[in-house]
């Protein structure tokens, strides 16, 4: 049930749960078709099918890790005014301090 980086990126950006479920369903359907085609191939044995399944799991995991890393990188850079802060805790403390200053005024 692996899919490319473009599809994985779309899954992270789509807010509608129905659309996300539809894309997951389509990806699973494509995966099942590829497995069936491999099983029906007279030159492929069961080891080939098993290796293909393992490769698809690894590919999906790597794509998922890549997408999560991209998303986390975006989160770390946003908002840009806190780029110079070295950690999330320091950023949180800085935000709290600025909020406290604003409420006192």
State how far the alpha carbon of 97 is from the alpha carbons of 80, 88, 94, in Å. 17, 14, 5
∠ Cα 71 19 12 (to 5°): 5
Q: What confidence tens digit (pLDDT) does each residue in 32-90 have?
A: 999 999 999 989 899 999 999 999 999 888 988 888 888 777 777 766 666 666 777 87
Q: What is the mean pLDDT of residues 18-36?
A: 86
User: How confident is the model at residue 1, as a pLDDT?
Assistant: 43
Instruction: Look at 25 and 87; give whichever has higher pLDDT.
Output: 25
Cα Rg for the chain, rounded, in angstroms?
A: 22
Cβ count near 53 (within 10 Å): 15
User: How confident is the model at residue 40, as a pLDDT?
Assistant: 92
Q: Please tell me the distance from the alpha carbon of residue 94 to that of residue 83, in angstroms, as a whole number.
A: 12
Q: Which residues of 57-93 are buried (b: 16+ CB within 10 A; e: fewer)?
A: eeebeebeeebeeeeeeeeeeeeeebeeeeeeeebee
What ranges do the domains of the chain cover? 5-104
């Amino acid at each position: 049930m692996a899919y490319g980086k473009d599809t994985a990126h779309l899954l992270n950006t789509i807010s509608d749960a129905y659309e996300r479920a539809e894309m997951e369903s389509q990806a699973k359907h494509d995966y099942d078709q590829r497995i069936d085609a491999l099983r029906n191939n007279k030159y492929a044995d069961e080891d080939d099918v098993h290796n293909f399944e393992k490769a698809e799991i690894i590919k999906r995991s790597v794509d998922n890790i890549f997408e999560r890393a991209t998303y986390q990188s975006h989160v770390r850079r946003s908002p840009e005014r806190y780029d110079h802060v070295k950690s999330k805790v320091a950023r949180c403390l800085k935000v709290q301090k600025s909020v406290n200053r604003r409420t006192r005024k």
